[in-house]
Amino acid sequence: MALQYSTTLRNNKLDQVESTTGTAGLLKLLSGATAPATCAAADTGTTVAIVALPSDWMAAASGGTKAKSGTWQVSAVATASITYFRIYDSVSAACIVQGLISQTTASGEMIVDSSAVTSGQVVTVNTFTLTAGNA
């Protein structure tokens, strides 16, 4: 039998992501052939945009998932293709979460309106949802 968690535990684990990040987290949208191997590794590629996340940037977890809350939008500071993202906490500037960017749900954990951007172009995060495993 595979390990299973209750929905309550899965929701609590997901809510901890937002608690750990704090109310002034930053989202970096970056270019590069590959994302760093882990959150502990340094950024790679070019920083295309930095989004100051809303103070309540994720909705409360429900059913083992947690979705973005509010509008995540910013003007790009570089011309490049956004390939991955990193979310940093508000206290130590440590990377808390990283994943791939795409314009479709098939290939990325975060969906943006345009992944190929020019400097000054407004970039909008359309979808970002965390899902806890071991249901």
Report whether 99 contacts 39 (CB < 8 A).
no
Share of the chain above pLDDT 70, in %: 98
**pLDDT recorded at residue 116:** 94
Report whether 133 contacts 87 (CB < 8 A).
no
Report how far residue 17's alpha carbon sits from residue 24's, in angstroms, rounded to the nearest whole number: 13
Report whether 125 contacts 68 (CB < 8 A).
yes
Nearest to 24 by CA among 50, 56, 69: 56
- pLDDT > 90? residue 106: no
Q: Which of 7-16, 65-74, 83-92, 98-107 has the lowest mean pLDDT?
A: 98-107
pTM of the model: 0.92
Report how far residue 75's alpha carbon sits from residue 123's, in angstroms, rounded to the nearest whole number: 6
**pLDDT recorded at residue 10:** 96
Phi, psi of 95 (to 5 degrees): -70, 130
pLDDT digits (tens, 9 = 90+) for 31-76: 998 899 999 999 999 999 999 999 999 999 999 999 999 999 999 9
Q: Stretch 98-103: mean pLDDT, rounded?
A: 92
